[in-house]
Amino acid sequence: MDDPYIPHLAVIKDIKDLTYDTKLFRISFKDKKIQENFIYKPGQFVEIGVFGFGEAPISITSSPSTKDYFELCIKNMGDVTNKLHQMKKKDNVYVRGPYGNAFPFDEVKNKDILFVAGGIGLAPLRSLINEMLAHRNEFGKIQVLYGARTPEDMIFIYELEEWSKKIKVLTTVDKRDFRWKGNVGIVGTLLTNIKGETKNATAFICGPPIMIKFVIKDMVKLGFKDENIITTLERKMQCGIGKCGHCNIGGKYVCIDGPVFSYKQIKDLPEALQ
């Protein structure tokens, strides 16, 4: 778009329930020209707003290869998201963006890729995973490790199954139910499956700060270089344009300098993962 700071009217094309508190919104700008010019990269985010209720920063979960719409995975956890969860297909919202930097893509071609996601943290990584799968021959081994509190908290279950036909996908839950036959334990326990595969690898991590913190520690022990551990800190964002100061950490603004950072960039900023 010509000016990403200006909100534009958009329409909800479709809504899918992913879990009891998380929905996938398919959105398109009403102005077709604006939609055509809406170019983003995996890792970037938008501010989605509801008239009279405010707006919220949400990572784009669809692949940039998708041109007619974009998708946002939204968990019901505040006033704005609660209102969004009450909306229906064909309702209007306003959107501005995209904002922030992006996950490295060209820079990690020909490397092995490891994704580690916890809970709704799979949403921003989904964009990158699907984009890499669309260019599968340009990357080495791709693996996805995904964990959630319970089976009911797992998102994109169908896509996890589809990905597993092409790449290695391992899942786990903190607490099983009577239907769950898979791994039980925090997502970090799955890292034992990738020992000795870190020399030419880049890892992407997204999830709750406490999960990211401990997974990074485990990855360092496995031999990953600090600059090859990539994470995202979007949970600290608010305005999206560096004006409110809410996301300032150690002199950096997450919404402008991030939300994507390497561990090398944030390892000396303890507040980054609090």
**Looking at 54, 76, 99, which one is the last position of a domain?**
99
Q: How far apart are CA 263 and CA 257, in angstroms?
A: 14
**Into how many domains does the chain fold?**
2
DSSP conformation class of 60: B
Give the mean pLDDT of 187-196. 84
Quickly tell me which residue has 């890892």 as its tokens. 203
> What separation, in Å, do the N-terminal and C-terminal C-alpha atoms of the chain show?
34
Would you say 49 and 55 are in contact if contact means Cβ atoms under 8 Å apart?
yes
* Phi (first) and psi of residue 80, to 5 degrees: -70, -45
Q: Is the pLDDT of residue 254 over 90?
A: no
Would you say 236 and 269 are in contact if contact means Cβ atoms under 8 Å apart?
no
- Range of 211-220, 247-256, 265-274 with top mean pLDDT: 211-220
Q: How far apart are CA 234 and CA 121, in angstroms?
A: 10
| 209 and 134 assigned to the same domain | yes
pLDDT confidence tier of residue 258, bands split at 50, 70 and 90: low
| 39 and 127 assigned to the same domain | no
pLDDT at position 198 is 80
Is 163 domain-assigned?
yes
Mean pLDDT of the chain: 90
What is the CATH number for 16? 2.40.30.10
- Cα Rg of the chain, angstroms: 18
Tell me which of 111-115, 126-130, 255-259 is least confident: 255-259
pLDDT at position 266 is 84
| 77 and 151 assigned to the same domain | no
Would you say 45 and 58 are in contact if contact means Cβ atoms under 8 Å apart?
yes
Q: How far apart are CA 27 and CA 92, in angstroms?
A: 9
Would you say 57 and 234 are in contact if contact means Cβ atoms under 8 Å apart?
yes
What is the CATH number for 130? 3.40.50.80
Give the mean pLDDT of 74-98. 96
pLDDT confidence tier of residue 243, bands split at 50, 70 and 90: low
Is 170 domain-assigned?
yes
Taking every pair of Cα atoms in the chain, the longest distance, rounded to a whole number of angstroms, is 53
pLDDT of 193-226, one tens digit each? Answer: 876 678 889 999 999 989 999 999 999 999 999 9
**Looking at 64, 99, 134, which one is the last position of a domain?**
99
pTM score, two decimals? Answer: 0.92
pLDDT at position 265 is 87
pLDDT confidence tier of residue 28, bands split at 50, 70 and 90: very high
Q: Is the pLDDT of residue 245 over 70?
A: no
| 190 and 113 assigned to the same domain | yes
Please state the separation of Cα 40 from the chain's center in Å: 14
Give the residue numbers spanning the domain of 12: 8-99
Is 265 domain-assigned?
yes
| 172 and 251 assigned to the same domain | yes
Is 3 domain-assigned?
no
| 78 and 111 assigned to the same domain | no
| 137 and 253 assigned to the same domain | yes
| 201 and 119 assigned to the same domain | yes
**Looking at 99, 131, 160, which one is the last position of a domain?**
99
Give the mean pLDDT of 132-140. 97
Is 2 domain-assigned?
no
Asked whether the CA dihedral 61, 26, 94, 84 is positive or negative, the reply is negative
pLDDT at position 253 is 67
β-pair partners for 48: 56, 95
| 111 and 22 assigned to the same domain | no
Give the side-chain half-sphere CA count within 13 A for 191: 24
pLDDT at position 152 is 95
Is 139 domain-assigned?
yes
pLDDT confidence tier of residue 167, bands split at 50, 70 and 90: very high
pLDDT at position 239 is 61
